Amino acid sequence: MINVSSSVHHLVPRSRLPQNLIQKLNPINTAIKNDHIHSPWHQVFANLTPFEAIIFYITIIAPNQFSYAEIIVNWEGIFSEGFLLSESNFYNFQKCKKKKFSKIAYYLSKDLVPIKIVETIVREWAPANYFYFIELVDSCDNRFNYYSPELRLAENSV
């Protein structure tokens, strides 16, 4: 039997949270991750929030793989951010260590389809209800949409 070690992963890095809320948010901000995937996550995304990790992925690691991205975060009154990707703000950084990324990409999405990697970050590497709204379209016209329960409730009541 193989002994797989695991550790606690803070979905939003503790250092990015207000000091007085770290303990309060700990139950909804942690997940147990196998070390063979946890370490590569931090090697690639370091101390980024899930929002920043997605932006880093779609603009630096997978440039030109997405034709549209709209992402809105509104989590626990702490993070409220938005991002809109259009042709005018594509980035192409050649200095990115893609070999380093390939290990975590494999675990994030076995088929390495860029939109599936983003979907995995949203579903497995972010706290519940962290993202408010996401709409992505990749260069092959695959789509990923995410609506927070709060947003779905608001739309259904209209």
Task: Write the CA distances from 142 to 8, 31, 88, 114, 139, integer angstroms.
Answer: 33, 29, 21, 10, 7
pTM: 0.81
Chain mean pLDDT for the chain: 81
The two most distant CA atoms of the chain are separated, in Å, by 55
Helix residue ranges per DSSP H, the chain: 22-25, 35-45, 50-56, 98-108, 114-124, 149-157
Q: Which residues, in sequence order, are bridge partners of residue 37?
A: none
Across the range 70-90, mean pLDDT stands at 77
Residue with tokens 């039997």: 1
Please report, rounded to a whole number, the percentage of residues in the chain having pLDDT higher than 90: 37
Across the range 89-99, mean pLDDT stands at 40
Across the range 51-59, mean pLDDT stands at 90
In this model, does residue 30 exceed pLDDT 90? yes
